[in-house]
């Protein structure tokens, strides 16, 4: 259970940082749509699956992609932050580091 509480603290901190990207002058903006902390039932269900899901939209400011918004899904295991999340684009995107199923190339 100590691993889960450590995960919750790290995840809560990082989700709070993501929320701050909405109003900042950062080169990439992020809008959070769904997190494990949205409701208590979802948080308990995620804990039993040993997987947490975060969904949001990235709004890049780069010259090529500045007119776009990309929906992404991040899956985190109980080993987070030692193990990186699995990231998948829900919005179709043409990019050399993104596979056809939306997963980022390793």
pLDDT tens digits along 21-79: 877 677 778 889 998 888 777 666 666 777 888 999 988 877 777 788 899 999 988 88
Report DSSP letters for 9-41, one per residue.
Answer: HHHHHHHHHHHHTTTS--SEEEEEEE-TTS-HH
Residue 17 forms part of a structural domain: yes
Range of the domain at 30: 2-89
Indicate whether 2 pLDDT > 50.
no
Indicate whether 4 pLDDT > 70.
no
If one counts the domains in the chain, the total is: 1
Residue 47 forms part of a structural domain: yes
Within 8 A by CB and 6+ apart from 75, the residues are 51, 52, 53, 85, 86, 88
Residue 44 forms part of a structural domain: yes
Residue that has been written with the tokens 């985190």 in this structure: 76
Residue 102 forms part of a structural domain: no
Q: Name the pTM for this structure.
A: 0.78
């Amino acid at each position: 259970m100590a691993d889960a509480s450590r995960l919750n603290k790290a995840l809560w901190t990082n989700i709070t940082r993501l929320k701050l990207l909405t109003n900042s002058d950062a080169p990439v903006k992020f809008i959070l749509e769904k997190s494990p902390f949205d409701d208590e039932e979802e948080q308990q269900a995620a804990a039993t699956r040993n997987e947490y899901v975060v969904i949001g939209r990235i709004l890049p400011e780069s010259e090529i992609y500045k007119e776009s918004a990309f929906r992404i899904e991040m899956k985190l295991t109980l080993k987070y932050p030692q193990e990186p999340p699995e990231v998948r684009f829900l919005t179709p995107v043409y990019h050399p580091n993104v596979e056809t199923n939306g997963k980022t190339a390793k």
